[in-house]
Structure 1
Amino acid sequence: RPWKKKKKKNCPSLSLAPGPEQCPLQPPLSPPSSQQPAVTMATEKVKDPMNSMGFLEAAVKISHTSPDIPTDVQLSMREHFLRRTQRMQRQTTEPASSTRHNSFKRHLPRQMQVSSLDLGNDYMVDKEEKPTSIGRIQPELYQQKAVESEDSSKNSNKNCGTINFSLKYDYENEALFVTILKAVDLPAKDLCGTSDPYVKVYLLPDRKKFQTRVHRKTLNPTFNESFQFPVAYDELGARKLHMSVFDFDRFSRHDMIGEVVLDNLFETSDLSRETNIWRDIQYATSESVDLGEIMFSLCYLPTAGRLTLTVIKCRNLKAMDITGYSDPYVKVSLICDGRRLKKKKTSIKKNTLNPTYNEAIIFDIPPDSMDHVSLHISVMDYDLVGHNEIIGVMRLGCNAEGLGRDHWNEMLAYPRKPIAHWHPLLESKKSEKEVLF
C-alpha cells in the first residue's frame, strides 16, 4: 500500500482524524464528537476560566512530538492563569462626593483609599502584621508607659506632710470661717533643703479663692490666718473645701507640694463650734480644682452631611483675671488625622464666670468621615494685651473618653435630633496645644 507508507512518513502534528493508525509519538486521544480542529477547542476553554485545566491539557497535547508536562507544573500554570484573569476582570471605582466634602479626601488616612483594591494573591498581607496609618505597634513604648505609671504610683504614696486647720459656721452672718493654722513635715523643694510654702483655699464650686502669706525657708510653717466664705447653711452639703499647698519661686513657676479636699463638711466637723482638724497632704503635681463646666447640644443631618454644635452656656469657670473674673469665649476645632481642618469661635462675654451664649457652630462632614474626625472644644479667656489663656478643654468623637464619646455616639444614634449635656472642663495637654495653636 503506497498511500499508507506516505501517510506514515508525513504524519501531520495536528491530525485528529479517527482511525487505528496514529503517530507513534502521539499519546492515545479519545476521538472528538465533531470534526473540529484542536485550536478551536483550546479557544473555547479560554472563555471559561473555571475550567482552565482542560484548556491547559489541550494546549499541551497540540504538539504530538513533545513529552508530557509534569502535573505540578501544570497546576502552577493554572493558578497563575486564574490570578491573571481575575485581576483583569475586576475593576474598582470610587463614589462621587459633594464638592464641599472634597477637603476630607486628602486628610483621611491612607488606609481608607486602598482598602477596597484587590491586589490578588501575590500581595496577600500576613494576618499577624496588620497595616495601620501610624505604623506598627512598638511594645517597648508600652513598657515605658508601664514604668511611668509605676513611678507615679510611688509618688502618690510619698509623704507630703500634714496640715492643721479649723472650721466654724456663723449662723448670724451666714458665713463659713476657715482658719489655716500650720503645716508640719513638708518636703523640701529648694536646693538648700527647705521650701517657701503658702496655701490656697477654695470653697467649691465657687471660683473665689483666698491665699495665705508666704513663709520663707521652712518645712514647718505657722500661718494662723482666717478666711470667710459667705454661704447659706443649706448649701454647705453640696460644697467642697479645697486647700492647695505651694512652694513659692521668685523666678519660675511655683511648685505644688500637695492638696487636701473635704467632700462633706457636716461629717467632718460640728460646724456649730470651732473644730480643729488634721489632714495628710496628698501628693499632686497640679491643682485638681474644678475648671468649670460647659453645656452644648449636638445634632447631625446625614443626608446633608451637616454637624451643628450649639454652645448654650458655661458655669463656675476658673477666674483668670486679677478682678476674680474672666472674659470667656468658646473655640471649636475640627480635627482629622491629627490635623486641624477648621476652627470657629463664639462671641466674648466680659467679666463673668457664668456666661450664656446660645450660638450655633456648623461643620460640613460627610457621613463616611464621621468615624475619622473629632471636635476639640476650648474655653478661652480673652486678653487685650498678650496671649489668650486656656481655661479648660474637652474632646468629642468616637475615640474620645468618657462623656465625650457617649455624647457623640448618642448623636449618631438619633440623627436630626439635638442632644444637650453638661461636660466638665479638663486641663489641656501639651500635645493638644501643638495641634490647636
Structure 2
Amino acid sequence: MPWRNKEASSPSSANLPPEALLSPSSRGNMADKLKDPNTLGFLEAAVKISHTSPDIPAEVQMSVKEHIMRHTRLQRQTTEPASSTRHTSFKRHLPRQMHVSSMDYGNELPPAAEQPTSIGRIKPELYKQKSVDGDEAKSEATKSCGKINFSLRYDYESETLIVRILKAFDLPAKDFCGSSDPYVKIYLLPDRKCKLQTRVHRKTLNPTFDENFHFPVPYEELADRKLHLSVFDFDRFSRHDMIGEVILDNLFEASDLSRETSIWKDIQYATSESVDLGEIMFSLCYLPTAGRLTLTVIKCRNLKAMDITGYSDPYVKVSLLCDGRRLKKKKTTIKKNTLNPVYNEAIIFDIPPENMDQVSLLISVMDYDRVGHNEIIGVCRVGISAEGLGRDHWNEMLAYPRKPIAHWHSLVEVKKSFKEGNPRL
C-alpha cells in the first residue's frame, strides 16, 4: 500500500540532517542566506512557532473537553406527567402560540465558519449615551435640595408628639430674583387630614422657622407612624412649587423621644407630595408537582381612609394576568370600618409549571361601597415581569417550592398602563 511505504520511509528521512536533503548548489545558497541577519530572524521565528505545536498532553485534552461540555446545553431527560384536568380551563384561556413546545436548537456548538463577523454586530459603546442619560435622570430624582433641621419630643402626660421645625439651609431658588418664599407642611402619617404648616418666610434660602406643632397620638402607636415634611415655595399668583420632602419612617431613629432631640435631614427632590396608601402582607407558595399556586392574604396596615368616617371597608382582589389579559380573579371577605384589616385567607390558582414564567398576579386592595362604585385604595404586582420586591418575591417562591414565603408590600396607585390596557382591572 502507498501509505504503508510512505510511513516506512518517513523514519529514515526524519533521522537525516536537513543538509543531507539539499543538493550541493542549494547548500551554498543556504549558507549565504544564513549570513543575512533578516533571514536569520525569520528562521528563528519559524523555529519558535514550530515548537509551540507538539503533541497535546492528555491533561490539556481533558480540560478542553470539560470546557466544551460546560458550554454545551445538555438536553435534560424529564418525565412529563399527564396533564391535570384542573389546568384545562387555564390552557383554554392562553393564546394559541403558548401551546407551541419549546424548540430544541441542538446540543452542538456552531462551527467556527458560521461565527458572525463584525459587520452588523451590536456595539454597546454606541449606546452609552442613553445609559448616561438614564443615570442623570435617576440622580435628578434623588438629588438633595438643601437640609432641614427639626426636633422631636413626646409628652407622656398629654400623649402628644411635639414636632419643632427649627430651620432650613441651602434651599434652591424658585423665583426669578434668585430666591424663594419657603414654608413647611407637616403630616403624621398615615393621617393626612391633620395637616399643619409653618409661616411663609419671604425671599430667603435659609429660613429660620422655630415653630412647634402638636400631634395627639398614643405612645404605643408611634412605632407605626411616619413623619412627613413637605417644603414648598409660596406663590401668590399661581400654584405653589414643591421644593422637596423628608419622610422619617422610624420616629425612634434619633432617641426614645423622652427628651427633645435635634435632627438634620436632607430634603429629597420631589415635584408632588407622595401619598402613603398603606401596606399589605401576603405569602406565596407553589407546588410544581400539582401545578398549584397559593396566595395567602394575611393582613394590611395603615390603609388610606376612603370614607367620611375616616375609615374604609377594605377587601383584597387578586387577578391572574397573562400577556396583559386577566384570566381569573378572586376576592377575600370585606372588613368593615378599619384601616388595619386581618384576613388570613388563601386564594388558589391552578397553573402548569411550563406557564409560570408567562403569568403574574395583580393584588388590589379595594374599598367596598354599598351605594356607588368600589374604589381602589392601592395595588401591587408580583411575577417575573414585575419590578423590585414583586419580582424578588416571585423568584424566591420559585427557588423554595412547597414553602410559603411572606413579605410586606407597599401599595401604589394604579398605573395608567393598567387602566388603558384592561379597564376591568
* TM-score interval, normalised by the smaller of the two chains: 0.5 to 0.7
Partner of 1:230: 217
Distance 1:365 1:297 in 2: 17
Matches within 5 A, 1:161-240: 161-180=146-165, 187=172, 197-202=183-188, 207=191, 210-213=194-197, 224=211, 226-232=213-219, 240=226
Over aligned residues, Cα RMSD in angstroms? 4.7
Distance 1:281 1:362, change over 3 A: same
* Aligned with residue 246 of structure 2, among 251, 260, 266: 260
Distance 1:346 1:296 in 2: 12
Shift of 1:382: 3.9
Q: Which runs of 5+ in 1 are unaligned?
A: 1-94, 130-135
Partner of 1:348: 334
2:397/2:405 contact within 8 Å kept: no
1:237-258: CA deviations, max 9, x gaps? 7865332335689999976431
* Aligned with residue 100 of structure 1, among 89, 92, 111: 89
Distance 1:306 1:115, change over 3 A: closer
Shift of 1:163: 3.7
| Secondary structure class of the residue paired with 1:282 | strand
Q: In structure 2, what residue type is equivalent to 1:226? A: F
Q: In structure 2, what residue type is equivalent to 1:100? A: S
Matches within 5 A, 1:230-309: 230-232=217-219, 240-246=226-232, 256-262=242-248, 265=251, 268=254, 271-274=257-260, 279-285=265-271, 287=273, 291-309=277-295
TM-score by length of 1: 0.58
2:283/2:406 contact within 8 Å kept: yes
1:337 aligned to 2:323?
yes
TM-score by length of 2: 0.59
1:162/1:279 contact within 8 Å kept: yes
Q: In structure 1, what residue type is equivalent to 2:137? A: D
Distance 1:149 1:348, change over 3 A: farther
Distance 1:226 1:183 in 2: 16
Distance 2:83 2:419 in 1: 35
1:361 aligned to 2:347?
yes
1:187/1:195 contact within 8 Å kept: no
Q: Which has the higher Rg, Structure 1 or Structure 2?
A: 1
Distance 1:383 1:184 in 2: 46
Matches within 5 A, 1:27-38: none
Distance 1:431 1:241, change over 3 A: same
Q: How many pairs does the alignment contain?
A: 327
| Secondary structure class of the residue paired with 1:103 | helix
% identity of equivalent residues: 62
Shift of 1:427: 2.1
Shift of 1:369: 0.9
Q: Which runs of 5+ in 2 are unaligned?
A: 1-81
Distance 1:257 1:356 in 2: 38
Distance 1:216 1:140 in 2: 49
Q: In structure 1, what residue type is equivalent to 2:92? A: S
Distance 1:373 1:279 in 2: 42
Q: In structure 1, what residue type is equivalent to 2:351? A: I
Q: In structure 2, what residue type is equivalent to 1:165? A: F
Shift of 1:116: 3.0
Q: Which piece of structure 1 moves more, 255-264 or 374-383?
A: 255-264
2:396/2:405 contact within 8 Å kept: no
